[in-house]
Amino acid sequence: MRVLSVISLALLATACLAETPAPVAAPKAPAPTLAVPVAPVGPGLAVPTPPARATKIDFSIPMQPIKQKDLSFKMFKNRWSLLFYFSPTCGHCIHTYPHIREVRTKFEKKGLAVVAIATGTASPEDIASFDAEHKLDVMAFQDVTKKFSQEYGTGSVPLILLVSPDATFKMWNSSDSSTLADVDKSIRSALKMK
């Protein structure tokens, strides 16, 4: 981070030296500011915490089914589910999707529901293209209201969530091989499989 700051300052200084100086204007009076109290940080002092995130999946969030029009997101309440939140144009999501399909093949008969949720910003054309190329054959929705991403999103995709029958969940926001191995291990443990 410091190297980046030093490089940025050096580039800024070089750019400033290359320009001809502009006439100096009279300084303006500073705008009044309001003092905002900041909690002191240090040994033994409290650190400000970000707002609490949801700890349970809300299956009442409106979702639009992508292929099976009679599908309801509420169907997955009170059961083990794996949610795959993705963008149909994301390279990492495309790379991860075959693993999600494999999870469905391995664990669906053991009681795991596998659900894909496309981002609310995905176009119908992008979803159709993803389906044509990668066979969107798991139960799938689109987060058209963007409420799912507001509650559980991390700002990046793919996002994988293993949801228990009580709606608590474990989340992964990476798709490297060690993450996918951990997803499988967590599913096996949850379903009490060896």
- Whole-prediction pTM: 0.73
How far, in Å, CA of 87 to CA of 64, rounded? 15
CATH number of 64-190, picked from 1.10.1040.10, 3.40.30.10, 3.10.129.10, 3.30.70.1450: 3.40.30.10
- Residues (pLDDT < 70) of the chain are 1-52
Q: What is the pLDDT of residue 54?
A: 83
89 phi and psi angles, rounded to 5 deg: -105, 5
SS (H, E, C) 94-106: HHHHHHHHHHHHH
Q: What is the pLDDT of residue 174?
A: 87
How far, in Å, CA of 113 to CA of 61, rounded? 17
What are the residue ranges spanned by the domains of the chain?
64-190
Q: What is the pLDDT of residue 154?
A: 87
CB 93 within 8 A of CB 158: yes
Query: Residue 66 corresponds to which tokens in the numbers above?
Result: 């992508």
Give 151's Cβ-side CA count (13 Å radius): 17
Q: What is the pLDDT of residue 9?
A: 41
How far, in Å, CA of 47 to CA of 55, rounded? 21
Q: What is the pLDDT of residue 44?
A: 56
Q: What is the pLDDT of residue 113?
A: 97
CB 120 within 8 A of CB 142: yes
CB 57 within 8 A of CB 152: yes
